[in-house]
Amino acid sequence: MHSPSITYQNKTEPFELQVARGFIEGHRTATVFGYNPDVDTSEVTVWPVAGMLTHPAAALQMKVSSTNANDTAAGTGARTVTIQGLDANYVEISETVTLSGQTEVLTINSFLRINYALVATTGSGESAAGDIYFGTGTVTAGVPATIYNIIKFDFNNTVTGHYTVPAGYSGYLSQGLFSAGQASGSTQVRGRLLTTGVDNVRRTAAVTTVNNGVADYTFEYPLRIPEKTDLEATAIGSANNNGVSCMFILLLVRDNP
């Protein structure tokens, strides 16, 4: 038998814990991690793909495919994946897709953004056997021509440093972290946290420079991110072959509870 929460004993517990437990109506959190193993001298999104993350011009059905034939309905790898994203009106939607190896499976829903995706069920391998892609266009060996997100092999969920605030919510940025490293230890890496609203203007919310180090930002007064705004972490190195990771935490508050 679990001990009751101290909340039920007319005592107090931290607000943050109450939000995490779902006790505060209209409040929840989004913690976003990003990872890019090879940042060179061009600015890229902190995600496991070369280049910047792009978005479709309109909501569309996504092709879901893997680079490994074992990621299929009865395979030893990933069998199903769950996609959490936004529709044409930036309203949250979710869908679970049964994989078919390197052959693409089309989602039922149309997605304007994919905020998160994870491996929902697996076979005996207990992990995806390949990289799982979400995109459009011609799919070659499991890789679509246009990539909108990815579950990298053995991560089993997206590690894309990007999040779009759903319609009807404001996001309050409370903490951000950026780290970079290189074997030589001589490379400077600049990280930026960008916001892009419905006006399509990309603005810099935070910027840092590290050299085999970590920058940890705690916003004493949280930065408000309006609904339908993209929040994205990017990186660029003064030389090639940098490993970069990021993390940011948002408190999502419903605007009209």
Looking at residue 202, which CATH number applies to its domain? 2.60.120
The answer to whether residues 197 and 241 belong to one domain is: yes
Does some domain include residue 1?
A: no
| Domain end point (choices 101, 128, 151) | 151
Same domain, 140 and 171: no
In a domain, 55, yes or no: no
197 close to 165: Cβ distance less than 8 angstroms: no
pLDDT digits (tens, 9 = 90+) for 146-185: 999 999 999 999 999 999 999 999 999 999 999 999 988 7
Q: 128, 151 in Cβ contact below 8 A?
A: yes
The percentage of the chain sitting over the pLDDT mark of 90, rounded to a whole number, equals 85
The last residue of one of the domains, among 151, 174, 198, is 151
Q: Of the candidates 35, 46, 19, 41, which has an alpha carbon nearest to the alpha carbon of residue 231? A: 46
Q: Given a cut of 60, is residue 209 above it in pLDDT?
A: yes
Residues 166 and 250 in one domain: yes
Three-class SS state of 238: coil
**Element containing residue 61 per DSSP (H, E):** strand 60-66
**Same domain flag for 129 and 209:** no
Give the pLDDT score at 23.
Answer: 82
Handedness of CA 219, 243, 142, 54 (dihedral sign): positive
Do 97 and 223 sit in the same domain of this protein? no
Instruction: Report the amino acid identity of residue 221.
Output: Y
Range of 244's domain?
6-49+162-254
190, 187, 151, 167: which is closest to 33 by C-alpha?
Answer: 151
Cβ atoms of 99 and 67 within 8 Å: the answer is no
Looking at the fold, whether 166 and 239 belong to one and the same domain comes out as yes
Q: Is residue 54, in this structure, part of any structural domain at all?
A: no
- Cα separations in angstroms, 20 against 10, 28, 101, 194, 218: 19, 7, 36, 26, 19
Which amino acid, 77? G
pTM for the model stands at 0.92
Domain-terminating residue out of 120, 151, 182: 151
At residue 113, what is the residue type?
Answer: R
Structure-token pair, residue 67: 């680079």
Position 11 scores a pLDDT of: 67
70 and 18 part of one domain: no
Q: Domain tally for the chain?
A: 2
Residues 220 and 186 in one domain: yes
> What average pLDDT is seen over the chain?
94
Residues 117 and 174 in one domain: no
Nearest Cα to Cα of residue 67 among 34, 99, 38, 96: 99
